[in-house]
Amino acid sequence: MRVLITGARGRLGSALLAQLAGKNHALTGIDIQELDVTNFNATRDLIKEIAPEMIIHAAAWTDVDGCAKEPDRAIVQNGFGAGHVAQAAAAINARVIYISSNEVFDGKLSRPYREYDITNPVNPYGYSKWVGEQMVREASPRHQIVRTSWLFAHGGKNFIQSILRAAAEGKPLKVVTDEVASPTYTDDLAAALTQLVDIERCGTYHLVNQGCCSRYEFARYVLDNAGFNHVAIEPILSASWQRASTPPPFSPLENLAGTVVGITLRSWQDAVAAFLDREGLLRS
C-alpha cells in the first residue's frame, strides 16, 4: 500500500515510519518544511502528485499552552489543516487516519471515555482537535479518527524527561493530583496504528496504553523505577499551578473499538518500564 505520513519528523511520525518499514508498504514522509497543510491548494496538489492510498495525518500543533495563547492559529493548523488533508484524500479515494486527543472531552465523567461519548472540549487545543475531527468526518467517508493521550517518546521533551531531569538536578518537584488520563508510549501507539492501517473498518478509535493515573502517580512511578525513589514529590492541585491552558481533569480513554478488531495495548506501567529500559534507566 502507498502510505503518506504527515509530521514525519515528529516523534510519532518517525516512529510510524520505523514501524511500517518492511511491511510491504511504499512509504512517503513529509513535514511542514515540505507542506503547509493550512494551504489547501498546496495540500491538494502535493497529495494528488504523491497519490497515496492511505494518509496518516500525524502533523499537529501540540503545544497546548501555545494553543491557548493563539486559539485562532490552533484552529487553522489543527482543524482546517486536517480538513484540507481529508478533502485531498477524498478526491483521490484515499483513506485517512487523523490523530486526535483526549482533550476533546470535558473531563466531567467518573469513568474512562469511550469512542462515542459526547465531546465537549474545554480549552483551545482540545477545541482545535475537535474541529479537525468534524472536518475529517465531513470531508472523507473513508476515515479513521484515533484519539490518544499523554504521549511520551524517546528524544525531545515530554513529561518523563522533564521529571527525570528535575530529579537529577535536585530541583523541587510539584505535580498535580487532580489531572487524570492515560499515559501512552509513542512506540506502542505507532504499533497499534500499523495494525489499523491494514484494517478497513472506518470510525473512531481510542488507542492508549491501558489504565489511567494522575500526573502525580505518573511521576511517582517513573521516579521509583528509574532509581529516584528517594526523591520527594509535593502533591498539589491544578488550581495552584498557573498555566495558559486548562486541561480536562479526568480524561482517560477506553479502547473498545480497537479491541473489537483485535488491537490492544499493554498497561501504561509496562509501557513506562519498557521506555525506561530502552533508555538504560530502568532500575529494579
* CA separation for the pair 116, 254 (Å, rounded): 11
pLDDT of residue 156 exceeding 80, the answer is: no
**Beta bridge pairs of residue 143:** 96
Quote the CA–CA distance of 192 and 234 in Å, as a whole number.
35
pLDDT tens digits, 216-271: 999 999 999 999 999 999 999 998 888 889 999 999 999 999 999 999 999 999 99
In order of their start, the domains of the chain are 2-156+182-211+246-268 (3.40.50.720)
Residue 284: what pLDDT? 65
Q: How far apart are the C-alpha atoms of 7 and 226, rounded to whole Å?
A: 30
- Across the range 129-147, mean pLDDT stands at 97
Q: Amino acid identity, residue 89?
A: A
Beta-carbon contacts of 202 under 8 Å, excluding residues fewer than 6 positions away, are 95, 141, 142, 143, 144
What's the distance, Cα to Cα, between the start and end of the chain in Å?
A: 42
216 is catalytic: no
pLDDT tens, position by position, 175-220: 999 999 999 999 999 999 999 999 989 999 999 999 999 999 999 9
What's the CA gap between 179 and 184, in Å, rounded?
15
Alpha helices in the chain (DSSP H): 11-20, 40-50, 64-69, 71-74, 81-91, 124-139, 159-168, 186-197, 215-225, 257-260, 268-278
DSSP assignments along 202-228, one per residue: -EEEE---BS-EEHHHHHHHHHHHTT-
Task: Quote the CA–CA distance of 152 and 104 in Å, as a whole number.
Answer: 19
List CB contacts of 259: < 8 A, sequence separation 6 or more: none
* Beta-strand pair 233-236/54-57: unpaired
- The x, y and z cell numbers of residue 118, run together, are 459526547
The yes-or-no verdict on residue 33 having pLDDT over 90 is: no
Looking at 98, 113, 116, 125, which residue is catalytic?
125
